[in-house]
Amino acid sequence: MSKLETMDEAAGRVVDGSTVAIGGLLMNGAPMEFCRALARRGAKDLTVVAIVAGPSVDWLVAGGCVRRAIIGLVSMEGFGLAPHFRRAAERGEIDVEEWSEHTIICGLQAAAARLPFMPTKAGLGTDMPGLHPERTEVVEHPRGTYLACGPIRPDVAVVHVHEADVNGNCRVLPKLVWMDSELVKAADTVVATTERVVPERTFRAAPERTTYPGFTVDAVVEAPLGAYPTSLFPWHGYDGAFVTEYLAACRDPETFAPFWRDRVMDPEDGPALVDANGGAATLLRIRSAGGTA
Amino acid sequence: MSGDYGIDELMVAALAREMPNDTRAFNGAASFMPVCAFMLARETHAPDLVWVASSIAVDPSPPRIPESTLSDALWDGASMLHSSAFDFWWYAQNGRLNSFCFRGAQIDAHGNVNNTVIGPYATPKVRLPGGGGMADLSCQVPRVYLWSTTHTPRVFVETLDFRSGMGWGDGPGHRERLGLEGGPRLVVTNLCVMDFPPETRRMRLRSVHPGVTVDDVRAATGFEVQVDGDVPTTPEPTREEVEIIRRIDPTDMRKRELAGG
């Protein structure tokens, strides 16, 4: 049975109040089309799990989708702080459950392994474990002190890949998954958005290049340019010019509203989004940025 | 050389000189100065230095430093690309990778770092990015180097609003009690170089940059800096070092940190 779904169908798998994990890392490889679809559907009260995030979490917060964020870090990297995430946290509009990069991975691994916790030395001595003692506990064991990271089990994880087939097989090129593989292992339901759907024989012809096996992926959505404005190495870099304009627009609600409508939310898919943000010239620019891998 | 260099080049050179030949380092986001320092050290006194760019690409030699230190443009000429940034956590935990550099919005006398919030956690005045990998690597990696381009009392504070990254903790013995190896070795700022003597594990002034006085550093620091005797001047970068830095970073990405902090 084909696992192909429309973006809206797949986004509908994320029910209000549930926990959704978003792939990518900072300005790279995030399933941005899926984030837009969630915002467009008016998804609410979500707990978002994002290891090291940027525009993805900022858009979900801007879209009013987020109640709680389980994060290691959220920023626009060299461009500045993530404005909506920042403002919502400062105003108490979202709860930020502060973890860190490796401790979130440990929590995801605990969930994937169905273990009560995963031990690590990461985070020891910092103020982080004390923020959520019910989830992370410093344990003095006879063989040493460790931080026990309780399970983080997303209802749905969403990752963006280069190629997938109707069976859910996924290929990430050249092989860089950032930390998405940990989300795929931990979540109950996995959605892969993909630049293109390819025939099953493409995978059988080069099975060593399959990144996620079909049986771990529940839904596949064709979403060309689905990571824009984040990067999808080696096919394109992130759109720094867009991020700069986005941050400028975010300074004032009056400039943000039309920007959010015309330059983020209204375009119906990835190519339309790029068209709304410079079209062919933008494509040329982001395709020549990076691309060495 | 005299005068023909910038503070950025002096900082990169000061950082690079501290990296021994057995350095096996990786870099995170927005880390232009460390990336310059790794490449400089590799071209001068530390030919065997290992640098894993963006924690992904092993030993690359990019023609320039791109605007993101996580970008694939930094990976040119690498001998290997990791499939996942996740892989490198194992190497960080077992010491195969042994060096990391970070900075933060606040740094205290023991080299603990805050990059999470200014103000109370629940009702922050400023919500910062979060500890990210710093919270982990500060515990896992034995050689930590701190850098800051904004040496002011707002950054170098007596008490952090939040401890996102573990330095020497509460002082001597704290890391040992938790079973954490090593700790911060050095702090390179736009004013001086500081280290952490074992007796106190508090910042001690090791050298002041040309034109900077000990009193300047005291006035710019929100805690009492330890000063032992006469403080030497930080050596200027050599002409060769400056040429190499300008070659590896021809578009001056390292200078961005001076503007933004």
Total beta-carbon pairs less than 8 A apart between chain A and chain B: 180
Q: What percent of chain A has pLDDT over 90?
A: 95
Judge: B72–A233 Cβ closer than 8 Å, yes or no.
yes
Judge: A96–B83 Cβ closer than 8 Å, yes or no.
no
Angle (deg, nearest 10), helices B239-248 and B7-17:
100
Give the C-alpha separation, A213 to A168, whole Å: 7
Give the C-alpha separation, A155 to B200, whole Å: 48
Q: Which residue of A has its CA nearest to B257?
A: A78
Hey, what are A267's tokens? 């375009």
Give the C-alpha separation, A175 to A81, whole Å: 29
- Mean pLDDT value of segment A102-107: 97
Judge: B85–A179 Cβ closer than 8 Å, yes or no.
yes
Judge: A126–B165 Cβ closer than 8 Å, yes or no.
yes
Give the C-alpha separation, B215 to A197, whole Å: 65
Average of per-residue pLDDT values in chain A: 96
Of A125, A145, A175, the CB nearest to B81: A175
Give the C-alpha separation, A31 to A220, whole Å: 12
User: Which of A96-110, A143-157, A175-189, A195-209 has the weakest average pLDDT?
Assistant: A175-189
Give the C-alpha separation, A88 to A109, whole Å: 29
Q: What pLDDT sits at residue B2?
A: 55
Q: What pLDDT sits at residue B261?
A: 37
Of A96, A101, A234, the CB nearest to B72: A234
Task: Give the pLDDT band of residue A292 (cuts 50, 70, 90).
Answer: very low
Judge: A126–B131 Cβ closer than 8 Å, yes or no.
yes
Of A72, A121, A178, the CB nearest to B132: A72
Hey, what are A200's tokens? 């099953």
CA distance A215 to chain B (A): 20
Judge: B132–A101 Cβ closer than 8 Å, yes or no.
yes
Q: Which of A85, A97, A124, A233 to mutate to test the interface with B (most CBs of B within 10 A)?
A: A124
Of A27, A82, A125, the CB nearest to B68: A27
Give the C-alpha separation, B35 to B26, whole Å: 9
How far is residue B137 from each of residues A2, A122, A263, measured CA to CA in Å?
Answer: 43, 7, 38
CB-CB neighbors (< 8 A) of B86 in chain A: 105, 177-179, 181-182
Q: Which residue of B has its CA nearest to A141?
A: B178
Of A78, A90, A105, the CB nearest to B89: A105
Of A27, A128, A292, the CB nearest to B135: A128
pLDDT at A37 > cutoff 60: yes
Judge: B130–A78 Cβ closer than 8 Å, yes or no.
no
Q: Which helix (H) or strand (E) holds B184?
A: strand B183-189
Of B70, B84, B140, the CB nearest to A177: B84
CB-CB neighbors (< 8 A) of A128 in chain B: 131, 135, 164
- Mean pLDDT value of segment A27-39: 97
CB-CB neighbors (< 8 A) of B118 in chain A: none
CA distance B255 to chain A (A): 12
CA distance A47 to chain B (A): 17
Characterize A79-111 residue by residue with b for buried, 16 or more Cβ atoms within 10 angstroms of its Cβ, and e for exposed.
bebbbbbbbbbbeeebebbbbbbbbbbbbbbbb
Give the C-alpha separation, B221 to B103, whole Å: 15
Exposure on the CB side of residue B54, measured as CA atoms within 13 A: 33
Per-residue pLDDT of chain B (261 residues; tens, 9 = 90+): 557 999 999 999 999 999 999 999 999 888 999 999 999 999 999 999 999 998 889 999 999 998 888 888 888 899 998 877 777 888 989 999 999 999 999 999 999 999 999 999 999 999 999 999 999 999 999 999 999 999 999 999 999 999 999 999 999 999 999 999 999 999 999 999 999 999 999 999 999 999 999 999 999 999 999 999 999 999 999 999 999 999 999 999 999 888 643
Of A73, A176, A289, the CB nearest to B130: A73
User: Which of A9-18, A44-53, B59-68 has the weakest average pLDDT?
Assistant: B59-68
Tens digit of pLDDT for each residue in A116-165?
A: 999 999 999 999 999 999 999 999 999 999 999 999 999 999 999 999 99
Judge: B84–A181 Cβ closer than 8 Å, yes or no.
yes
Q: What pLDDT sits at residue A8?
A: 97
Q: What pLDDT sits at residue A251?
A: 96
pLDDT at A291 > cutoff 70: no
Q: Give the pTM.
A: 0.95
pLDDT at A290 > cutoff 70: no
Higher pLDDT, A290 or B89: B89
Give the C-alpha separation, B206 to B193, whole Å: 5
Q: What is the dihedral of CA B137, A159, A231, B77, to 10 degrees?
A: 60
Q: Which residue of B has its CA nearest to A144?
A: B179
Judge: B135–A126 Cβ closer than 8 Å, yes or no.
yes
Q: Which residue of A has its CA nearest to B140?
A: A122
Whether A79 and A58 have beta carbons less than 8 Å apart is answered as no
Q: What pLDDT sits at residue B24?
A: 97
Bridge pairing between strands B117-118 and B126-127:
antiparallel
Bridge pairing between strands B57-58 and B50-53:
antiparallel
The 3 state secondary structure assigned to chain A is CCCECCHHHHHCCCCCCCEEEECCECCECCCHHHHHHHHHHCCCCEEEEEEEECHHHHHHHHCCCEEEEEEEEECCHHHCCCHHHHHHHHCCCCEEEECCHHHHHHHHHHHHCCCCCEEECCCCCCCCHHHCCCCEEEEEECCEEEEEECCCCCCEEEEEEEEECCCCCEECCCCCCCCHHHHHHHCCEEEEEEEEECCHHHHHHCHHHCCECHHHCCEEEECCCCCCCCEECCCECCCHHHHHHHHHHCCCHHHHHHHHHHHHHCCCCHHHHHHCCCHHHHHHHHHHCCCCC
pLDDT at A228 > cutoff 70: yes
Q: Which residue of A has its CA nearest to B32?
A: A78
CB-CB neighbors (< 8 A) of A84 in chain B: none
